[in-house]
Amino acid sequence: MEQNSTQTQIVAGLRAKWDSYVQANSLNTTQQRELIIDEFLACRDHVSTEQLLELIRKRNSKIGYATVYRTLKLLVDAGIAHARDFGDGQTRYEVAADHHDHLICTKCALVLEFEDDKIEALQEEVAKRLGNFKIVHHRLELYGLCPKEQGIAGGSCPNESK
């Protein structure tokens, strides 16, 4: 229940950020764009434009690819979405709600999100040691092979359970 409440607060904060962006940039508010934003903010995975379009068309079959693509670009510009390319040439988008890092299988395209306080602290330590840098933003993506793609006997891919 508490996580649901937290998620609702995060979405409300991102919505407020979007409203400010719309006003500051004199953008029009349309029902199609609002539906796209609602669907995107409800996503828990990294979604491509095509995947988001598929979700949206369940609610409104008349929305086109270009509208979804342009709206995602606006969400990135507004700081509400992050565009990610995990090395397979496919841009995916994720809600910019919290900081996390990624572990990516280069064969099956599994993407796992993780947070590790030790890694965060080590990054700060390295930044300080190498010139007293203050980290303001970073992205950590680790590329490898899941157990199945490594050929480990009995190894499974977490992607298969989804």
CATH number reported for the structural domain that contains residue 137 in this entry: 3.30.1490.190
Q: Kindly state whether residues 10 and 51 are assigned to the same domain.
A: yes
Q: What range defines the domain where residue 143 resides?
A: 101-161
Q: What CATH number is given to the structural domain containing 72? A: 1.10.10.10
Indicate whether 69 and 120 sit together in one domain. Answer: no
The verdict on 44 and 107 lying in the same domain is no
- Does 52 share its domain with 109? no
Structure tokens at 124: 């700060």
Q: What's the pLDDT tens digit per position in 87-136?
A: 778 899 988 877 788 888 888 888 888 888 899 899 999 999 999 999 88
Taking a C-beta distance cutoff of 8 angstroms, is the pair 82, 93 a contact? yes
Pair of tokens at residue 133 = 């840098």
Q: What is the pTM of this model?
A: 0.72
75 lies in the same domain as 18: yes
Q: Render pLDDT for 72-86 as a digit per residue (tens, 0 to 9).
A: 999 999 999 989 888
